Each structure stands twice: as structure tokens, then as C-alpha cells.
Structure 1
């Protein structure tokens, strides 16, 4: 993709602004992180040039001043809620995040289980954390939250929550996903700090919507598409407009809660430093855009991806049709349709011509390659091999993995492992390719070019298996599927 975002400039601007906030509050800041702290792939897709780990790299500039608190909603633990991009539950992702933070040298303070009402799975997770030597706290639901401010800002409200002992000036509060209680944890800490006579403040690290881009800019529309399940809606910040006469963009939940948040901060500290939700955020992303056209193109493609991902989820679950309808409206706003990606057209044409499920991929040079289901390989495997040949400059007609290598694996799957599908999934195909690379220079050449597929767009004419989808995402390939199954049956693995 054409670069449209200056990542180094962004990191420098964000770090500078956070230092300013710490000083503004007298040396202690609770910083709520919106979005993914470590692996923000949505931002990387809509702001080409943004690195998925930009936020954590920015924090590394402040590492000696930082400690991290991870929050997780007890109800999400109970429901085994998953991160859609990684396919793991929020509780497992909390452990993954802590490993990453510690591996990078950050001080991880603790895990806070919010909305706790003695949920059995939350209790089990807390015991697991205790066994791992991780400090845990529980925060309970507060009656009347968030509107009964007198009750919330009292010993029976925030006062009932456990106080988290912190030692550093910048306390980052993050979570595996939205609705985890980050803001409430920050405000609870502000209440306790004020009771102890400690000067402390609160701010939000925001990326989307971008406050200084137009309301209907494709990047901001893509944010609505990404949060369609949360009913987030971008809106003009009326508080900022009234206070400063400046038009800025925020989203409905922050605008709706701001009067309550402002009243809470006034009750806790006697005064609120913020006149608007835009004031509250630390977001320099808009100032690091260097090619608006490139960013707009990338964001439009992301909106279409979100449409297909949601349509597939509706097909799998049978619920959420209203989300698909909203995404259709967002595509209309952005002036794009389902056929935006050449990969989709190629995949559907290949299926029409061959009668077999097929896939298409746009390579870094703009070339589109296809693959279809065969006797030995599934569509995802076939496309993977043809894409690797394309980026490695290997003729498409050459069989890099011989049938003699593939057939024994197929027999193992059916005869010994009792699979009904003899064809190789894409991960099995890469293993076969890797084994072949030990003696075949051509196979090694393909293996050496796997990273060249990162950021490419792939599309399949049917819903592919979870195994294939996971492998593609692991390789950084943006994968979408037509919302239909290969076979008409009730159970699909």
C-alpha cells in the first residue's frame, strides 16, 4: 500500500502531549487507552504507515515512568467473549498482553476484574492469576452508575472499590476489548487519590475517530464500521463547539457521558480541567497523515472488509442483520460497493468458470492471482501457493510440492486421523512446503517470500474454515469471504 502516515512523527507527538498532561495534573496521570494498545491492526489498515505496535513503542519512550493496569469485565469472562482478530478469549488475551508488556520491560501492576458479582468463571480466573503471582482486584457494579453522581462519588460508590497501589507518574489502564471498565477504574483511582491528598488526573489515549478530520472522512467512517456491534456513531462534539467555536469529531458514547464525567471530576477534585470530550483525549493521529488520498483509499477498503466480515458472522450465527444494514449505509456514505476489491471479482469469476470454491489475492505489485479447490488442496491452500509463486517470481505451472508429498498427508488425515476432508488446509500446506524446502531450492524460495504477503487482500467465494482464516490472519493477510457455505448442511467446522 502507498504510505499515507508518518509513524515516527505520530509517536513523537503523542509522547510529547502525554508528558504535558502529566505535568498539567501535578505529576500523576491515569491514562485510559482506547483501542488496542499493542496490536492495533485496524489503525494499520486505515492509516497505511501506522505500525500495529506504535502505541507501545511510544510508551517505551516513557518506560521508566509507566506502570500498566489491565482491566477485564467479569461478564466477558463468564461469556467467554473473544477478540475477533485473534480468536482467543478476553481472559486469555489479558495473559498474552501481560506477557508482551513484561517482555518489553514494562512494569505490570495488576489485573482489575470489573462488574464483579461473584461470577464463577471470574472467580476461577482470579484464582488462576493468584497462582501465577499476579495481583488482582475486584470492582463491583455501582448502583445508579453513571448518573447518580452523589452516590457514585462516595464511600458507597467508588469508595467501595479496592484502591490500587501505584508508584509511577503514568498509570496506563488498558484492556483486551471495549466495555472492560477502564474509565471507571481510572475515576475510582482518582477518588481514592484525592481522599489521600494525592494530585492526579485522567486522560484518554484516543486514535479514532480522528477529531481533526471531517465527520464523514473515510477514516472516521471506517471507525463506525469497525464498531458497528457497539452502535458507536461519530458526531460533532457540541461541547467543544460551544467552548471554543471549533468543529471537532467525537463519538456518541463519549459525548453522552461527558457531562456526567465532568461532574464526577468536579466532585472528586473540585474542578474539571476539560470543557469537552475532545479536550479529554490525547490524539495526534490526524497531524501525522502525510497522504490523504492514500489514507482514504485504505479506509474505504476497510469499510468493505468490515461489511463482509459482519455478513459472514451473521451467516454463522443467524443474528446481527441490522449490523449488515448499517454497514451498507456506511458503504454508501463512503461511495464504495461490494466489488471494490479486485480479489472478489477474480474469486467469483474463477468459481463461475471452474464450478469449484475459489479465492483471489491482490499481490503487492497489483497483480491478482487465484486458486481453487482441487482433489488435494483446498481453495485457501491453492491460493496461498499461487500467491507465493507470484511474489517469488516462480512460474504458475510449476508444481513446487509434488503430489507424492501431499498424498501421504491426505491419507493420514482420512485413514488415521479420521477426517472427512482429505484436502490440505493452508497451515498443512505450508508445513509440507517447509519440509520440501530442505531439499528443493524452489520450495525454499517460496518460504523466503511469505512475509511479502503481509497486507495483501484475499477474498474467497465461500466461507473458509477457521483454520485457514486463522493462518491467513497470522500472516497479516486481510481475508474476506462471500457469506455462503461451500455445502448445504447444518453443522460447519
Structure 2
């Protein structure tokens, strides 16, 4: 895929910018880290060349100067709130994050339970953390938050919260998801630091929206598409425009919260070092874009993907039509339609001519390959095999997987596992291909082509199974489906 972003430049610029901000506050900075530190596939899709772990690699370059605080809302533990992308609860994700930091040489100072008011599930989690040897601190609800500044910045407000002792110049405050209390944790820590005579500072790290790109740049519009469920939007930062006469882009929630944040910082430290929400940020991602046209194209494709994800969700669940309506407006603003990808027209045309479910994929060279449901393979498997053949230069008519590898799997499914469908799913197809590759050089060659499909866009004329979609996404293939089921029925797995 054509790159439009320099990962190396980004890591260098971002690390340098954070060091500058640490120095600005005399050597101690609390950095609220928004978004995903790992697995940021949205960023890698809209900024081709951005690696999903870029932000974490950047932090690793500062590992000797970093401690991490992980904030989690006690109410989210009580509600068993889960991450939609990983399917695990927030409390489990805290442990996952702590493991990742620890194994990469980054110290975890503590886990902070925010909004704690004796929730039973939160108490169980506290005991679990204690058994694991992880420090846990409690932050309590504050009446009148966030507007009663005098109460918040007092012994009865932040003063009640337990202080996390840290020794390193950069304290990264992160969380398993939004609403976890990262900002409140940072400001509470600042309150305690200043009481101890430490002139610590605060800054915010958010990748999107990109403050130094235009408001209607597709990369920023794609972020609106990604967060359509939050009912938020990108806006011009009015505080920055008034203070400096410069136009920058920020998120409406951050702009709305800024007067309160500034007032809190003034109460804590005597003055606020920031004149705008943009001032608080340290994001340098916009300076590492090397090909704007490539990023524009990638962002527009991401907006279309978000649309199809939403319409398929409505078909599956009956809920979310308001998200679809908003995404239609977002697509119009970005100047794209649902036919933006050539894979869609290719899949629908072949389905019309063959009468079978079809998948189509745009390959790295821009060509489009298709695959339809057959006696042995489902549409997803057929497309995967045809795409692999194409990128490895193997004859499309050649039967790469031997019958000896396919038939035992089909028999196991139908005769022993109770399935009525003998066709192989993509994961089963790859197993059969791997078995065949032990004795076939051609199969081994085709199998080695999997990395070449990473970043490609696939479109299916029907909704494929969640298992098939998950496997393709694991291979790095972006998946969209027409919002219709292959079979008429009440239940679709």
C-alpha cells in the first residue's frame, strides 16, 4: 500500500515534544494518554505507514523516565463493562495493560479506582490487585464536580483521594476506555504534588483529531465517523483562535471542558500555563504526514468502512439507525459514497451473474480479485485463496489444496461436530493449506503470500460469519459486507 506517513519521524518528533513539556514544568509531567496505546488500527488505516504500536514504541524510547498509572472507574467494574474490540471487561484489561507495560520495561506505579464508593465488585478487584502485588489507590466522588472549584481543590475534594507516589519525570495516566477518570486522576495528583512542594505539570496526548490539519480534512472527518456513537464532533478551538489568532482543530468535549480545567489548574498552581485546549496537547502526528493525498484516500475509505459496519450492525441487531444516519452525513461531508471501493461493485456484479455469495478484494497493485461460494469453500475462503494466488503469481485455475487435506476436515465437521455446512471457513482453509504445503512447493508459496494481503480491502455481497470476519481481520484484511444475510431466517450466527 502507498505510504503517507513516516513512523520513524513521528516517534522522534513525539518523544522530543514530550521531553520539552517535561522541561517546561521543571522536570515532572502528568500526561493524560487518550485513545489506544497498542493496536491502534484506526490510526494505521487513515495514516498509511503508521504502525499500530507506534505510540507504545515512542514511550519505550522514554522507558527509563516513565511510570504508568492505570485509572479505572469503579462503576465500570460493578457494571462488568467490556471493551468492544477485545471482548474483555475493563478490569481484565487493566491486568492486560499492566502485563504489557511490565514486560516492556515500563514501571506501573499503581492502579487508581476512580469514583469509588464501596462497590462490591471494586472491592473484589482491589483484593485481586493486592494478591498480585499491584498497588491500588482510591479516588472518591466529589459533590459538585466539576463546577464547584473551591470544594474540588480542597481537603474535602482532591485532598481525600489517595496519593500515588512516583519518582520519575514522566507519569503516563492511561485507562482501559473512556470515562475512566484520567483527567481527574492527573489533577488530583497535581494537587498533592503541589502540597508537597513539587511543581508538576499536566498535558494531554490525543492522536485525533489532528490539531494542525483542516477541520474538514478527511483524516479528521474519519475520526468523527469512528466516534459516531459518542455524539461528539470536531470543532475549531475558539480559545486558541482568540489567544493566538491561529485556527486549530479540537474535540468539542475538550473545548467545553477547558474553562473548568483551566480554573482547576489556576486553583491548584496559582496560574494556568495554557490558553487553550490545543495548548494542553502534545500530539505531533500531523507533522509526520509525508503524502497528504495518500492519507486523504485512506481516510475516505475508512469512513466508508465505518458506514458498512453500522448498517450491518443494524441488520444484525435492529439498533443503531441513528448512527447510520449520522454516517451518511459524514460521508457526504467527506465527498464519498458507499461505492467508493471498487471491491463493492465487483462483488455485487459477480453475485448477480453467478447467483452465489461473492467476496472481492483490492490487491496492493490496485487490481481486484473475486471469490464465490463453491462446493468446498465458502465465499470468504474462496476469496482468500484467489487473493493469495494472485499476489504470489500462481495460476488462478490451479487447485492448490489437495482433496486429501479438505475431505477429512469436511467429514469431521458434518459427521462428528454436527455442522450441516461441509464448506471450509478461512481458518479451516489455512489449516488445509498448511497441511498441503508440507508436500507441495506451490502450496508453500501461496501460504507465504499472507503478509502481502495486510491492509487490503475486502467486500462481501452478504454478511459473513463473525468467525470468518475475525480471521480475516487477524490477517490485517479490512472487511465490509453488504447488509443482507445469505439465507432468509430468524437466527443468524
Q: TM-score range by the shorter chain?
A: over 0.9
Partner of 1:131: 131
Partner of 2:404: 404
Q: Secondary structure at the match of 2:479?
A: strand
Structure 1 segments unaligned to the other structure (5+ residues): none
Partner of 2:376: 376
Q: Secondary structure at the match of 1:313?
A: helix
- How many angstroms apart in 1 are the aligned matches of 2:428 and 2:137? 43
5 Å-filtered alignment, 1:292-307, equals 292-307=292-307
- How many angstroms apart in 1 are the aligned matches of 2:79 and 2:406? 40
Aligned residues: 493
Residues 386, 24 of structure 1: alpha-carbon distance in 2 compared, 3 angstrom cutoff: same
- In the superposition, the TM-score normalised over structure 1's length comes to 0.96
5 Å-filtered alignment, 1:17-416, equals 17-416=17-416
Residues 333, 282 of structure 1: alpha-carbon distance in 2 compared, 3 angstrom cutoff: same
Residues 356, 122 of structure 1: alpha-carbon distance in 2 compared, 3 angstrom cutoff: farther
Residues 134, 350 of structure 1: alpha-carbon distance in 2 compared, 3 angstrom cutoff: farther
- How many angstroms apart in 2 are the aligned matches of 1:80 and 1:462? 33
Question: Offset of 1:216 from its aligned partner?
Answer: 0.4
The superposition leaves residues 124-164 of structure 1 with CA deviations (integer Å, 9 ceiling, x where unpaired) of 44443333332223333322222222222222222222211
- How many angstroms apart in 2 are the aligned matches of 1:119 and 1:430? 46
Partner of 1:446: 446
Partner of 2:479: 479
Residues 76, 435 of structure 1: alpha-carbon distance in 2 compared, 3 angstrom cutoff: farther
Residues 317, 127 of structure 1: alpha-carbon distance in 2 compared, 3 angstrom cutoff: farther
- How many angstroms apart in 2 are the aligned matches of 1:75 and 1:414? 45
Q: Secondary structure at the match of 1:282?
A: coil
Residues 288, 164 of structure 1: alpha-carbon distance in 2 compared, 3 angstrom cutoff: same
Question: Offset of 1:78 from its aligned partner?
Answer: 4.2
Partner of 1:3: 3
Partner of 2:470: 470
Q: Secondary structure at the match of 1:35?
A: coil
Q: Secondary structure at the match of 2:235?
A: strand
Aligned residues of 2:402 and 2:436 also touching (Cα < 8 A): no
Residues 376, 78 of structure 1: alpha-carbon distance in 2 compared, 3 angstrom cutoff: farther
Partner of 1:461: 461
Question: Offset of 1:33 from its aligned partner?
Answer: 1.0
- How many angstroms apart in 2 are the aligned matches of 1:196 and 1:446? 63
- How many angstroms apart in 2 are the aligned matches of 1:119 and 1:488? 45
| Cα RMSD, aligned residues only | 1.7
Residues 279, 314 of structure 1: alpha-carbon distance in 2 compared, 3 angstrom cutoff: same
Structure 2 segments unaligned to the other structure (5+ residues): none
- In the superposition, the TM-score normalised over structure 2's length comes to 0.96
